Structure 1
Amino acid sequence: MLDYRSRASNIIKNGPQQPRCPDPEMWNKGDRFNDSTDPVPENGVQATLSRKTHIYLHATWRTGSSFLGELFNQHPDVFYLYEPMWHIWQTLYPGDAASLQGAVRDMMESLFRCDFSVLKLYAGNQNISTAFIFGWKMNKVICSEPLCNGHIRNEVGLVEEVVCGKCQRRDIKELERECKKYPVMVIKGVRVLDLGILVPLVRDPAINLQVIQLFRDPRAVHNSRLKSKQALVKESIQVLRSKKQTDKYKRLLVPNNRGNRADSYVSWAMEMICENWLNDIMLVINAPYWVKRNYMKIRYEDLVLHPMEELQRLYRFSNLTSFPAMDKFVLNMTQGKSYSSDKPFLISSRDAKEAIFAWRLRLSVKQIGEVEAYCSEVMRQLGYEKNNLDSS
């Protein structure tokens, strides 16, 4: 049913695909969702089967996803997990990104069911505890009672890593018990390349997955990725390996200029990110109602320029209610003194406008032109205007 990009690629490229075996379009006469043979329950039935709200924050590297995730991490009704699928990519490196998609979805399904035993597959000789979860030192659930008294769950404020790092490591079973108490569970990740692989979780009435997809101006993403290029080389290689069957990407994996190898990997992975974004957009445009109903699109620029409005929209979609402390928090996080940070992956208060337009000062005209060339269609779909090079 979920042949990768089977319909989206045809829509985008207007050309025939390489034959696949088996071809889901042969089964469904072109309908990749196959509504007629397996109808999805209506809202009332789904609500009965799944009283818990499950949300996946679908993003890519350097789009502001950590900030978006923090808006859920801070909410007292949310059980939040930051990048749990990171363990898969680290353990199975150098496996290409496409081949890891099935494992990513399987892990996500288990976690949404509050079954964390799946993490043992990627633990090696490590003991599975709350300290094994990636990003645990900034997790409000792990750092608050009953697991730890480092923070008060109902108080809004960034978790201090030094404080949380002193928490006693708890067995993963205790974390599972906490997971089951929360009405909303949110997972943030950057390792789903194709929105289509999540459709079975949307369709499953026991999970009824809701997806919030975060986009950002590709030029700003490229600028941020170059700034953090050393930290993104491994992931960029894994993304590029997904296209290793073509001569173009074979050449990219062996750059001639060894001194610029990291830049090459990060830059060409950006091209694939835009391709994946466009495929996702086309999938949603052509999806049936029951997919669109569980999908929300948000732009980073809108989030930081209009934080109050976008926070309300996010929470309505997620069956959450905002409150004054959260409103104050989101405003403070977007009205900082500057954008630059010595630690680009650190969540901190930033100057929203500087964060949005920093690429204009830091990218060359050539770099801007390259990104606009291979991201032109997705920029058009998302409403990002091309740079006026004559006035720059």
Structure 2
Amino acid sequence: MKTINAFVFICIVGLIIIEMESNILSRIILYYNLYCSSFFILSTFSTMGRRESLSEEQEGEDLGTHNSSGGRKHVLLFTVTRTGSSFVGEFFNQLGENMFYLYEPLFHVGFVAKDANATVLAGIYLDILQGLFLCDFSPLEKFILPPPQDHVTPDLFRREVSVSLCDEPVCSPVVKGVSQRFPCVNRQCGPLNLTMASESCLSKQYHAIKTVRVRQLDALQPLLEDPRLDVRVIQLVRDPRAIFASRMVAFALGPKNEKGLNEFIENCDRMRMAAELGLSQPRWLRSRYMLVRYEDIARDPLQKAEEMYRFAGIPFSRQIIKLILRSALTNHTYNGIYSTEKNSAQQAEKWRSKLPFKVAQIVQNVCGPTMKLLGYRLVDDEITLIDKSISLLEEKEFL
């Protein structure tokens, strides 16, 4: 106990010194904060390990994982494009052998149902998500092109991102002469056998899906009310100015691109309306909705990851701590604009030196209500925009 108290004192003194030195690189602060946080969390695990007298039920309640039915846990990472969701999704993907994670499975719907209206699309998305959380890939198979043969496909979108789909037993032998659009990266696997994927899914306790394609939160009500499922929705949001700056790079979006600008405004409104509904806590969303800002994750990945895990009812393990320390501090990126590894602190603020002030003003004009709701400060001049010592993030607590 004395050792822990001494370490706490050292951490506090160190943080005060760092904060007083305005020229210290922000990356050093993040390293130090994460190191201290990881020590506290790991020491908590050690203490818990020594409490052998705790009953299994008490332990489950402490971690937020107790469920009277003993059922599986389902997490839907609900967001719009360019919010850092690929990075945040890794917090769940890398959990280990008890997690089944899918990256944007709804991608395939747009090609087959491209002329469908919003109501029809919402119904299709709901059916697919419901099926996938129940480990049934048949609703999704209808939209994969070319159609799977005997439930086998080489074309599932971004298969290589999912640990579960590139690990045993789903990783089948390579088939000569069969090319794959999204082959596994860390090991050689044959085309994806969806029957094997379904069996793997059924063997795991935790299921998570990331999607940017569901337009309205209320369209998910039947999913959350399905008695066969225990779904928790995590809405990931980000400063609209940062989203716009990212879309300028990823999709060549500019203020004169009318179609792209209208789509951006629609996404901004979607983000706000979903947050308004979620924070109003209707009965069907009560204790099943959580709003998280990307910027808060970037500032303290360990703390926010622990909060998300607790909300979802998933134990926060040593393995996930190591993942976050690696992912949040890395300078290495891969998969280009859809990278899952980034220096989170640097990435969260990078847009401020890239986005022209006039463009920032346009974004503020069209997304003002969204920014106010989510706690993003407006800027009145270019100096404030590029001065990263000035925070554009209000301290705000969400449900």
Q: TM class, shorter-chain normalised?
A: 0.7 to 0.9
- How large is the RMSD of aligned CA atoms in angstroms? 2.7
User: What is aligned with 2:339?
Assistant: 346
| CA–CA separation in structure 1 for the residues paired with 2:331 and 2:87 | 16
Query: The residue matched to 2:338 in structure 1 has which SS?
Result: coil
Bigger shift: residues 117-126 or 182-191: 117-126
One-letter code of the match for 1:92? A
Structure 1 unaligned blocks of 5 or more? 1-45, 151-158, 234-259
1:186 and 2:178 matched? no
Contact between 1:226 and 1:266, CA under 8 Å: does it hold in 2? no
Do 2:172 and 2:191's aligned partners in 1 also have CA atoms closer than 8 Å? no
Give the share of equivalent positions with the same residue, in percent: 29
Measured against aligned partners, the alpha-carbon deviations of 1:91-129 in whole angstroms (never above 9, x if no partner) come to 222545554121111111111111111123113443242
Summarize deviations over 1:173-214 as a string: whole Å, max 9, x none.
Answer: 111111111111111100011000001111122113210110
* Correspondent of 2:101 among 80, 87, 92: 80
> 2:306 aligns to what SS in structure 1?
helix
Query: In structure 2, how many angstroms separate the alpha carbons of the residues matched to 1:50 and 1:84?
Result: 27
Q: 1:220 aligns with which of 237, 242, 255?
A: 242
Give, as a single letter, the amino acid of the residue that structure 2 aligns with 1:308.
L
1:306 matches 2:326: no
1:121 to 139, 142, 147: 142
**TM-aligned CA distance change 1:214 to 1:102, over 3 Å:** same
* Pair 1:331 & 2:352 matched: no
Counterparts of 1:342 and 1:58 in 2: how far apart (Å)? 21
- Is 1:50–1:207's contact at 8 Å kept on the other side of the alignment? no
How many Å apart are 1:286 and its aligned residue?
Answer: 3.0
User: Alpha-carbon deviations, 1:338-390, whole Å to 9, x = none?
Assistant: 88x78111222x23333122222222122101111111111111111112316
- In structure 1, what is the equivalent of residue 360 of structure 2? 368
Which residue of structure 1 aligns with residue 227 of structure 2? 205
Query: How far 1:84 sits from its partner (Å)?
Result: 0.6
- Which residue, 121, 127, 148 being the options, matches 2:171? 148
**What are the within-5 Å matches in structure 2 for residues 92-107 of structure 1?**
92-95=113-116, 97=118, 99-107=120-128
State the alpha-carbon separation in 2 of the partners of residues 144 and 346 from structure 1: 20
Which one of 255, 261, 278 corresponds to residue 284 of structure 1? 278
Q: Which residues in structure 2 correspond to 1:131-142 (within 5 Å)?
A: 131-142=154-165
Which shifted more, 320-329 or 180-189?
Answer: 320-329
Please give the alpha-carbon distance, in whole angstroms, between the structure 2 residues aligned to 1:82 and 1:387: 35
Deviation, structure 1 residue 270: 1.2
Change (3 A) 1:216 1:359: same
* 1:170–1:124 CA distance, 2 compared to 1 (3 A): closer
What's 1:377 paired with? 369
SS in 1 for 2:126: helix
Q: TM-score, normalised by structure 1?
A: 0.72
Q: Which residue of 1 aligns with 2:85?
A: 65
Alignment partner of 1:57: what SS? strand
TM-aligned CA distance change 1:216 to 1:172, over 3 Å: same
Q: Distance in 2 between matches of 1:169 and 1:342?
A: 20
Quote how far apart the aligned CAs of 1:278 are.
1.6
Residues 2-60 of structure 1 show CA distances to partners (whole Å, capped at 9, x for unaligned) of xxxxxxxxxxxxxxxxxxxxxxxxxxxxxxxxxxxxxxxxxxxx955670111111011
How far 1:69 sits from its partner (Å)? 1.0
User: What's the CA shift for 1:261?
Assistant: 9.7
SS at match of 2:142: helix
**C-alpha spacing 1:342/1:212, structure 2 compared with 1 (3 Å):** closer
Cα distance in 1 between the residues matched to 2:255 and 2:345: 31
Distance 2:159 2:346 in 1: 29
Rounded to whole Å, the distance in 1 between the matches of 2:315 and 2:69 is 22
Q: Which residue of 2 aligns with 1:388?
A: 380
The yes-or-no answer on 1:90 pairing with 2:111 is yes
Q: Is the 8 A contact 1:211 1:296 kept in 2?
A: yes
Evaluate the alpha carbon distance shift between residue 346 and residue 337 of structure 1 in structure 2; reply closer, same or farther with a 3 A threshold: closer
Instruction: For residue 323 of structure 1, report the CA deviation from its aligned partner.
Output: 2.5
What TM-score comes out, normalization by structure 2 length? Answer: 0.71
2:186 — aligned with what? 163
Is 2:131–2:137's contact at 8 Å kept on the other side of the alignment? yes
Letter of the 1:190 counterpart: V
Unaligned runs of 5+ in 2: 1-65, 174-181, 385-399
Stretches of 4+ moved more than 6 A in 1? none
Distance 2:335 2:130 in 1: 36
